[in-house]
Structure 1
Amino acid sequence: MKNLIKTPAQKDTNVSIYYEDQGSGQPIVLVHGWPLSGSMWEYQVPVLVEAGYRVITYDRRGFGRSSRPYSGYDYTSMTEDLHDLIEKLDVTDIILVGFSMGGGELARYAATYGTSKISKLIFISSIAPYLLKTDDNPDGAPEVVFHEMEENIKNDRAGFLKTFGEGFVNYEDNKDLISQGQLDYNFQIAIDASPKGTLECINSFGRTDLRGDLEGIEIPTLFIHGDADHIVPLAPSSQQGHQLVKDSQLKIIKGGPHGLYLTHKKELNTLLLDFIL
């Protein structure tokens, strides 16, 4: 368990990014989703470590044990944090994995810093490339969806996150796959995050157009998505991403909700190992 202290460019505060570095071998960096932290990877880390990989998880700024600055929740700043972590650890030949909002960091990293240090990209239930419905992105979600999320966070963050957590895993359909205890744990992670960071990230994952970022990717890339994901619709996200990234793969997990890393962890872990081994 370690901390990375960085001084962000053009920011007036230092930001400390918490990360954990376990195992040895080819490095895998796991980027978590919203509104969680690196703790979400509890059921993936041991599988990957035991398969012979060095697994690095970290908490996005504003979440988990990282600093909680009042600004810098745009993808450019958050990807700079990822870049600084990679530089600090001096790792190469990285398998970079992003869940949900974390897919945005993968796309922006590839577009900004290139892929010379990255061997493979894996997008899981990813928001990339573009969630907002526009004239040229008709399968996206209407603006009102993100506006309502923002209003709910402003007015009753705890109440919203409680309900969101159930929809995250399609709880009514998956009670035999996930416990109430796990739901409570997810809620605890989410409610402990920075209220400002939780709010600002909605704009980033909801309204950032990453289509151009994905188009330049030329390394092996895998998209994994559940066909029962009611949080991030498949069409504007993984399906569109698969179409944009040349020679990429798209794997659909039948019955998988957004939080399939919990409900369908065996299927997910098998897909991860099949792609990276």
Structure 2
Amino acid sequence: MPFIHLEKHRIYYQKAGAGPPVVLLHNATGSTRDWRHIMPRLAQAGYQAIAYDRPGFGRSTPLAHWPLDYLHHDREQVIALIDALELERVALVGNSDGATISLLAAAAYPARVAAVVAESPHLWYEKDSLATGFQYFKQTLKQNPRVRRFLRYCHGAQAEQVIARWRSRWLDPAFFEWDDRSVLEQISCPALVIHGQNDPFFPVSHSQTIVNSLTDAQFILLEDVGHTPHAEIVNDYTNTVLSFLSSVYPITTNA
């Protein structure tokens, strides 16, 4: 198994293919396994697909607590990963927290990020919709045992800790004031923002505001899709991502 050490963390990662690198960032309950169907398609198209488990997820170092600024910490970590893998410039593809981290990285390190695909991103707190989203997730865990089984498949013994840590951070009143939308004016690379019409966590208007604040952005709204298009409509999602990358980050690009 490929591991790399970043700071005090042992990070698990996977690679597939050769060509311009595309780094895939999972959501707040995800892992590298979220991208198991998409990585081969990226590789087949001529890209080098790289997915990794953030600390506290999957096979990476367990993490008991998220600091309030965990998204900024993970922004630094994805750049550290790119450095450790000796990559000069990458495209970032992320879902939910992974999308947010991708946007934060593009803002802070424009020379390192060639393009961003932000799937179900969030850059400020939406109290009402998040309350609805967490209730939806709670019911899903009760009614669909396959979801909990998949979380155990992704995270093993730390699956319950992943869920508890996520809830603890996002339902902490100290986090309610979080607002990072000011970074959007610093993003210069092409971006594709994808949002599911039925996303229970964040309204469509959230992604629309993000798109309207970017200088070079496309927006795709998906009907009958929720918070995780990459898992709900794998083929359509992958085709959409590849179409975007081929236009702004072609396989002739030097890594």
TM-score (ref. length: structure 2): 0.82
Does structure 1 residue 104 correspond to structure 2 residue 74?
A: no
201-210 or 53-62: bigger deviation: 201-210
> What is the aligned partner in structure 2 of residue 26 from structure 1?
20
Show CA shifts across 1:59-80 (max 9, x none).
Answer: 1111111112344541122222
> What is the aligned partner in structure 1 of residue 131 from structure 2?
145
> What is the aligned partner in structure 2 of residue 81 from structure 1?
77
Aligned counterparts of 1:115 and 1:166: Cα–Cα separation in 2:
42
Question: Secondary structure in 1 aligned to 2:127?
Answer: coil
Q: Give the alignment's Cα RMSD to 1 decimal.
A: 2.9
Counterpart of 2:196, as a letter, is G
The share of aligned pairs that are identical, in percent, is 25
Change (3 A) 1:198 1:188: farther
Show CA shifts across 1:65-118 (max 9, x none).
Answer: 111234454112222221110110011231111101112211221233x22121
Does structure 1 residue 38 correspond to structure 2 residue 32?
A: yes
Question: Secondary structure in 2 aligned to 1:87?
Answer: helix
Change (3 A) 1:239 1:41: same
Unaligned runs of 5+ in 1: 8-13, 133-139, 153-159, 172-179
TM-score (ref. length: structure 1): 0.76
Measured after TM superposition, the shift of residue 55 of structure 1 is 0.5
- Number of paired residues? 239
Question: Residues 92 and 113 of structure 2 are in contact (CA less than 8 Å); yes or no, is this contact kept in structure 1?
Answer: yes
Does structure 1 residue 93 correspond to structure 2 residue 89?
A: yes
Change (3 A) 1:244 1:212: same
Aligned counterparts of 1:207 and 1:103: Cα–Cα separation in 2:
20
Show CA shifts across 1:154-202 (max 9, x none).
Answer: xxxxxx96634589xxx8xxxxxxxx75773246436626346434552
> What is the aligned partner in structure 1 of residue 194 from structure 2?
224
> What is the aligned partner in structure 2 of residue 48 from structure 1?
42
Change (3 A) 1:193 1:37: farther
Counterpart of 1:116, as a letter, is A
Counterpart of 1:75, as a letter, is L
Change (3 A) 1:264 1:144: closer
Question: Residues 226 and 254 of structure 1 are in contact (CA less than 8 Å); yes or no, is this contact kept in structure 2?
Answer: yes
Measured after TM superposition, the shift of residue 271 of structure 1 is 0.8
> What is the aligned partner in structure 2 of residue 210 from structure 1?
180
Show CA shifts across 1:200-240 (max 9, x none).
Answer: 5526987531201222111111101111212222212x111
Question: Residues 24 and 52 of structure 1 are in contact (CA less than 8 Å); yes or no, is this contact kept in structure 2?
Answer: yes
1:124 pairs, out of 119, 125, 128, with 119
Change (3 A) 1:181 1:83: same
Aligned counterparts of 1:115 and 1:193: Cα–Cα separation in 2:
36
Does structure 1 residue 272 correspond to structure 2 residue 252?
A: no
Counterpart of 2:154, as a letter, is I
Change (3 A) 1:143 1:43: closer
Does structure 1 residue 248 correspond to structure 2 residue 248?
A: no
Counterpart of 2:4, as a letter, is L
Aligned counterparts of 1:64 and 1:95: Cα–Cα separation in 2:
22
190-199 or 102-111: bigger deviation: 190-199
Change (3 A) 1:97 1:143: closer
Aligned counterparts of 1:54 and 1:124: Cα–Cα separation in 2:
20
> What is the aligned partner in structure 1 of residue 253 from structure 2?
none
